[in-house]
Amino acid sequence: MKLAVVLFNLGGPDAPKAVRPFLFNLFRDPAIIGLPAIARYPLAALIATTRRKTAQANYDLMGGASPLLPETQAQARALTAALKTQAPDLGAPDLEAKVFIAMRYWKPFATQTAREVAAFAPDEIVLLPLYPQYSTTTTGSSLKDWKAAYRGPGVVREVCCYPTAPGLVEAFAEAIRDTWITAGKPSNIRLLFSAHGLPQKIVDAGDPYRAQVEATAAAIAARLPELPDWQICFQSRVGPLKWLEPSTDAEVRRAGADGKAVLVAPIAFVSEHVETLVELDHEYAELARQVGATPYLRAATPGVRQPFIDDLARATLAATTQIKPYGPWLCPADFSQCACRRGQAA
C-alpha cells in the first residue's frame, strides 16, 4: 500500500519580505476573523500593515525567519523512520509511506502539497495535524483548506485530535522534568501550562479547545508529582475581544506576588516558533524578572522526542484501518465543532 501522510501546521515567514503576506494570509482566514470577505480582506490588509514592524522585530530575534518549517521537516523525517519501524509489527510489511507538509499561512501551501501528493498517487492519505488539541481555528481550518485543494487519488483519513495521547504526554513530562532537574530542582516553583489563547466566543460556540487543553495539562501533571503546584493559562492575546483566561502574563504576575519561581510549558505547541522563542523566552522572561518570579524556566516543545514521534506513527497507522478517532479521547457531546464528534475523523 502507498500511504501519504500530510502534516498540518500554521507555517511562518521564511524571510523578512514574507512577514506581511504571512500576516495577511492569517487574518483573511474566516476561521480567524468571521466577517464576509468584502470586509475581511481589507481588514486583514490593514492588520498586516500595522503589525508588520512589530512582527518583523520578533522574527529578527530568531535570525529573520520562523524556524517552524525546519522543525516540521525534522518531525517529518523522524515520522518516516518511525512508520518504517512500526509498520511490519502492525501487519503492513510492504507499506510505502511518504510524509508531506502543508502549512496554512505560508509555504508550502496546501495547493502545492496537494499536487505533490496527487503525483505520488497514494492508496490512502492520512491527514495529521500537529495541533494536539482540536480547534476550528487550527485543525478545522487546515482540514477545510486541504479539502478545497486536493483532487487526487486515495482514500482520505483524518486524525482529529490527540490531547491525551500517551507519547505526547510523556514527551511533555520529560521536557518539563529535564528543565527542572537541570535548574537544580527548585522547590518553590509553579508550573504554568501555557497554551495559545482564543476568543471566548469561539469556545462558547462549541469549540473543544479549552477542554482539550485542560485534559492535556491534567494528564501531564499526573506524571509529575514532584511539581504539584500547577496552573493552566493562555498567551498571545490580540484585539479587544474577551479571550480565554487566565492569561499567561497574569499568572506570571501572580506567581511573583506569591513568591514563586516559574516553569512554563507550552502545551499547545509541538515545535519551537515565535510564540515560544520570543513571547515565552523574551517577553514573559522579562516580565518574570520585573515581578520577581525567578528563576524563570521554560520547557522545550516535544519536537522529535521519540515518545511523541512514535505516537504520531501509531496514530497514522491506526487511521489506515480504523474508522474512529485515534486513542481514548472523545469530545463531550456539547463540543459540536470537533470533527471527532461529527464523525468525520479516522
Q: What is the 3-state secondary structure (H, E, C) of 149-197?
A: HCCCCCEEEECCCCCCCHHHHHHHHHHHHHHHHHCCCCCCEEEEEEEEC
Q: Is 79 helix (H, G, I), strand (E, B) or coil?
A: helix
**Which residues are CB-neighbours of 184 under 8 A, at least 6 positions away?**
none
Give how far the C-alpha of residue 171 lies from the chain's centroid of Cα atoms, to the nearest Å.
14
Q: Which of 48, 27, 101 is nearest to 71 (CA)?
A: 101
Residue 58 CA to residue 181 CA, distance in Å, equals 30
**Which residues are CB-neighbours of 19 under 8 A, at least 6 positions away?**
13, 52, 55, 56, 59
What 52-56 contacts at long range (C-beta under 8 Å, 24+ apart), as own/partner pairs, is 52/19, 52/20, 52/23, 55/19, 55/23, 55/274, 56/16, 56/19
What pLDDT does residue 237 have?
Answer: 86
- pLDDT mean by block of 10 residues, the chain; 346 residues: 96 93 91 89 91 91 93 98 88 88 97 98 96 95 96 94 95 98 96 96 94 96 98 89 95 98 97 96 98 98 98 91 59 79 54
What pLDDT does residue 343 have?
Answer: 57
Q: Inter-axis angle of helices 37-60 and 19-27, to 10 degrees?
A: 140
Report the length, in residues, of the chain.
346
* Cis amide leading into 240 (omega within 30): no
What pLDDT does residue 328 have?
Answer: 63
What pLDDT does residue 183 have?
Answer: 97
Give how far the C-alpha of residue 168 lies from the chain's centroid of Cα atoms, to the nearest Å.
12
The strand order across the sheet containing 2-9 reads 96-103, 2-9, 124-129, 155-158
Residue 71 CA to residue 77 CA, distance in Å, equals 10
CB-count burial class (<10 Å; 0-12, 13-18, 19+) for 298 = buried
Residue 255 CA to residue 184 CA, distance in Å, equals 19
Residue 320 CA to residue 300 CA, distance in Å, equals 31
User: In the 8-state DSSP scheme, what is residue 16?
Assistant: G
Q: Which amino acid is at 27?
A: F
**Which residues are CB-neighbours of 194 under 8 A, at least 6 positions away?**
233, 234, 235, 248, 264, 265, 266, 267, 268, 280
What pLDDT does residue 94 have?
Answer: 86
Residue 165 CA to residue 82 CA, distance in Å, equals 16
Residue 306 CA to residue 311 CA, distance in Å, equals 8
Contact 315, 280 (CB under 8 A): no
What's the CA angle centered on 312, arms 309 and 315, to 5 degrees?
Answer: 150
CATH classification code of 166-298: 3.40.50.1400
pTM given for the model: 0.93
